[in-house]
Homo-oligomer: A and B are copies of this chain.
Amino acid sequence: MKIVVIGGGAAGLGAAGAAKGQDPSAQVVVYTEYEDVAYSPCGIPFVHGREIESFEKLFLATKEQYVAQGIDVHYETTVESIDTRSKTIKVRGEGEVGYDKLVLATGWNYDTPDIPGAELGGIYHVKNIRAAMEWDRRLDDVRSAVVVESGPIAMEMVSALRHRDIEVTLVDPGPWPMADVIDPDIVEPVRKDWEEAGVSLKFGEHVTAFNGTDTLTHVSTSFGDLPAEIAVIGSHKVPNSALAQSAGIKLGSTGGVVVGPELRTSDPDVYAAGDCAEIPHGVSNVPLQGLSGSHAYAQGKTAGINAAGGTRTHNPVYVPWGMLAGSWMIGGVSFGETLATALGLPFVTGVANGITRARYYPGVKPITVKLLADPSTRRLIGAQMVGGEGIKERADFLGIVARTGITVDTLATMENVYSPAIGALNEPIAMAAQALVAKL
């Protein structure tokens, strides 16, 4: 049994490790175009921002560890094509390579805005760690930067650049940061925080050209020209599915590879996992792509197990999410009001402004929880939160609440830990649910 994995990110390595775990006798080969595998790209903005001291910290495992596990990683190799009839892939410099089962974990690219001058130096797509190391040295001499659109990585990069004392202008066509994901009331503290940190915020605006000779010197925008030595691209992720498409593997409405619950593609010997694939949303059944590293890793494991002869299914997703944004944590599950309205989903909201510890205990932080429920089923269809701590854990919790169909009535009567140093008398999730129930 030979299992070939294309891609060395969380999905690819998750698949390789799980395949080897499922069938230790399987030959598992991973192809990656990069020099490294098994590092955390999500940490890059925090090294730029100096919260993390070095890029070396981001590596999770050494190349030797993969050798020891019996996983054969081919670095800096390009897979040029897949032939599903002969069950071979064509690798540049290696020729044709056969497989019994193939796992596509080709990841994502930035949705490149169609802006003239995009080929100039000084335009930074935060993704690869080697490139990030070079960019990091360069940041010492940069005085002005523009961040183009406010995707999640861009949100982190705004803070990172300010930590490096770089003047930052955020230009985003949306009406507020991450407008496709978060509601304006929830992100307002972040906007204010950035404003206080001296970030120039331009919402409802867009970059029209990158200008300079060889390297960027200024950008043209809908509100005029501004100087910028670098531009950080903060646009959405799009699935890197060109290889699959060329091989005749079915893509879906998002451009991601279509997979069933076993993460099998339209070809029975080919699986796909992570950002190159699309996964149905549990509430709306709409396919989604561009989820988190933990989704990619979990999907990779499922694909690897199945490729190696096991049986595991992947559930529809409810997408608990969270991140640091300025001095706040933001997060949620599934839909906010903006997205639910756009999708035409009926909903009622309940909002609570709570605290994370006893009011008098050092380190107590504010936390706002907004819950959305379907008025007929009274089930949770989404949540949005901003606060100083405890956002990730609550998002995980509410992800399970949405998935299992727990009603807001149940949440309204939840028990909660009260101990001054770690939790307040009233849990904001329960308070928000009580407010919601009162409206229903």
Contact = CB atoms under 8 A, between A and B. Distances in A.
A105 interface: no
Interface stretch (A87-95, A109-117, A335-343, A420-428): A420-428
A51 B361 contact: yes
Interface string A397-440: 10111011010001101111111111101110100000000000
Contacts of A322: 417, 419, 422-423
A400 B397 contact: yes
A416 B294 contact: yes
A268 interface: no
A406 to B, nearest CB: 6
A378 to B, nearest CB: 14
Interface stretch (A118-126, A190-198, A249-257, A388-396): A388-396
Given A42-B358, A52-B362, A360-B40, A415 B401 contact: no
A273 interface: no
A392 B425 contact: no
A138 interface: no
Contact of A422 (B40, B60, B329, B420): B329
Most buried by B among A318, A324, A421: A421
Nearest to A315: B413
A363 to B, nearest CB: 10
A292 interface: yes
Nearest to A400: B414
A414 B393 contact: no
Interface in A14-58: 40, 42-43, 46, 51-52, 57-58
A46 B420 contact: yes
A399 B406 CA distance: 13
A51 B295 contact: no
Contacts of A396: 397, 414-417, 423, 427, 429
A43 B358 contact: yes
Contacts of A414: 396, 399-400, 403
A367 to B, nearest CB: 10
A389 B422 CA distance: 8
Nearest to A46: B420
B358 A40 contact: yes
5 contacts: A293-B418, A294-B426, A317-B415, A318-B415, A399-B416
Given A10-B425, A389-B389, 15 more contacts: A51-B362, A58-B360, A294-B417, A297-B426, A298-B415, A319-B415, A390-B392, A393-B397, A396-B414, A397-B400, A399-B414, A399-B416, A400-B401, A403-B410, A404-B404
